[in-house]
């Protein structure tokens, strides 16, 4: 952060814009000031507050991996005022960035384990940071499965990652869509039943999942059927945030602050807080 004021954002320059789907874009960005870049570190799973002058701030994870620091990436689904303004950004434009905030995926829990990643839609954004991190430290983990799903082929994000993971031998990649189209020759089916069909063993395995609440709800049930305990399941929570640093009380669920205690939790940590939706 510049000076002592944690609310002052870094100035970042957009280097590349990728249209992922009709309403999701990924932005490659970099520090305008090289000396700030040299000092910056983050961990997979952390988020930041991104600001557009005159529009406001919004919360997004850093979707690139800390093992690849040439540039940073974030991916944005259009939801309202700030995300619509971010979708207007072009290469060369500047944005504000403060962070990284929050906790991160527990690499100490994951080391030496088999990993099962289950992502839906834009939920692959935080997972891909960890997946690339795992690939770049491949010897530290057992078998790695990635299951990613979206509503239709046109809704699949990060197709370049899916292709790279499918081609490589570091992970077993499964992609599914709820509904195919004329050109789609891949798997069709909702994520939870496809996960049960793949049937990963829960022995020495941790599942990491992120996606829309309805997907998480049924994925948790499928993981339980496969023998995963709540301690073996890691997920991320989203609550509307303001300060991002545990000061404003905007993001609490019960007595946990999602911005400070999360956004990454084991299911064991949060199962008692979650609403019936889960
Ligand atoms: C830790 C964290 C990480 C996130 N990472 C990403 C990411 O990588 N990519 C991404 O696209 N989005 C991410 N989000 C969600 C993102 O912050 C919101 O979509 C964004 O703030 C909406 O801003 P807006 O001004 O465009 O929408 P607004 O105009 O503020 O709101 C539009 C609609 O979305 C609802 N809404 C806004 N924020 C949230 C929220 N956090 N949860 C549920 N409903 C919300 C509002 O109630 C309203 O109905 C993340 C959220 C959190 C808390
Ligand atoms: S966003 Fe302010 S306390 Fe969490």
Question: How many angstroms separate the alpha carbon of residue 60 from the centre of ligand 2?
Answer: 14
Ligand nearest to the CA of 257: 2
Name every protein residue with a CB atom under 6 angstroms from any ligand 2 atom: 241-244, 246-251, 257, 259
- Quote the pLDDT of residue 7: 84
Residues 76, 156 share a domain: no
How many structural domains is the chain composed of?
2
Residues 203, 143 share a domain: yes
Ligand nearest to the CA of 101: 1
* pLDDT above 80 (res 277): no
* More confidently predicted of 254 and 166: 166
Residues 151, 96 share a domain: no
Residues 165, 58 share a domain: no
Residues 118, 59 share a domain: no
CATH number at residue 91: 2.40.30.10
* pLDDT above 50 (res 2): no
Residues 76, 21 share a domain: yes
Question: How many angstroms separate the alpha carbon of residue 240 from the centre of ligand 2?
Answer: 9
Q: Which domain holds residue 133?
A: 107-236
- Quote the pLDDT of residue 264: 96
Does residue 222's CB lie within 6 angstroms of at least one atom of ligand 1? no
* pLDDT above 50 (res 152): yes
* Residues 229/230/231/232 CA torsion (nearest 10 deg): 60
- Quote the pLDDT of residue 272: 79
- Quote the pLDDT of residue 275: 62
- Quote the pLDDT of residue 276: 54
pLDDT per residue as tens digits for the range 35-54 = 999 999 999 999 999 999 99
Lowest-confidence pick of 11-15, 98-102, 175-179, 269-273:
269-273
Residues ≥6 apart with Cβ < 8 Å to 97: 9, 10, 11, 12, 29, 48, 49, 50, 51
Strand, coil or helix: 47: strand
| Interatomic CA distance for residues 204 and 112, integer angstroms | 8
Whether 242 is covered by a domain: the verdict is no
CATH number at residue 122: 3.40.50.80
Whether 232 is covered by a domain: the verdict is yes
Whether 168 is covered by a domain: the verdict is yes
Whether 1 is covered by a domain: the verdict is no
Phi first, then psi: give them for residue 4, nearest 5 degrees: -105, -5
Q: How far is CA 135 from CA 139, 144, 160, 198, 254, in A?
A: 9, 9, 15, 21, 36
Whether 192 is covered by a domain: the verdict is yes
Rg (CA), the chain: 18
Whether 193 is covered by a domain: the verdict is yes
* pLDDT above 60 (res 199): yes
Question: How many angstroms separate the alpha carbon of residue 98 from the centre of ligand 2?
Answer: 14
- Quote the pLDDT of residue 5: 78
Does residue 55's CB lie within 6 angstroms of at least one atom of ligand 1? no
Beta-strand relationship, 47-52 and 94-101: antiparallel
Please report, in angstroms and rounded to a whole number, the separation of the first and last CA atoms in the chain: 37
If you average pLDDT over every residue of the chain, what do you get? Answer: 94
Query: What string of DSSP letters covers 62-103?
Result: --S-TT-TTSEEEEEE--SHHHHHHHT--TT-EEEEEEEES-
């Amino acid at each position: 952060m510049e000076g002592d004021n944690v609310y002052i954002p870094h100035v970042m320059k957009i280097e590349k814009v990728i249209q992922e789907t009709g309403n999701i874009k990924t932005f490659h960005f970099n520090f305008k000031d090289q000396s700030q870049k040299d000092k910056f570190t983050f961990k997979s799973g952390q988020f930041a507050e991104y600001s557009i002058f005159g529009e406001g701030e919004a919360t997004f994870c850093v979707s690139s991996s800390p093992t690849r620091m040439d540039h940073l990436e974030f991916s944005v689904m259009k939801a309202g005022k700030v995300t619509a303004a971010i979708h207007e950004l072009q290469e060369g434009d500047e944005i504000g960035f403060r962070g990284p905030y929050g906790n991160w995926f527990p690499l100490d829990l994951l080391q030496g384990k088999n990993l099962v990643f289950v992502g839906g839609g834009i939920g692959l954004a935080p997972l891909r940071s960890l997946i690339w991190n795992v690939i770049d430290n491949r010897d530290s983990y057992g078998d790695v499965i990635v299951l990613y799903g979206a509503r239709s082929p046109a809704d699949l994000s990060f197709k370049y990652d899916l292709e790279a993971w499918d081609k490589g031998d570091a992970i077993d990649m499964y992609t599914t869509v709820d509904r195919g189209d004329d050109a789609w020759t891949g798997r069709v089916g909702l994520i939870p039943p496809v996960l049960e069909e793949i049937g990963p063993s829960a022995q020495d395995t941790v599942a990491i999942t992120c996606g829309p609440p309805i997907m998480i709800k049924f994925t948790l049930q499928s993981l339980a059927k496969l023998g995963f305990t709540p301690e073996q399941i890691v997920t991320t929570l989203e609550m509307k945030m303001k300060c991002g640093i545990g000061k404003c009380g905007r993001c609490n669920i019960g007595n946990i602050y999602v911005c400070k205690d999360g956004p990454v939790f084991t299911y064991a940590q949060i199962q008692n807080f979650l609403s019936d939706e889960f």
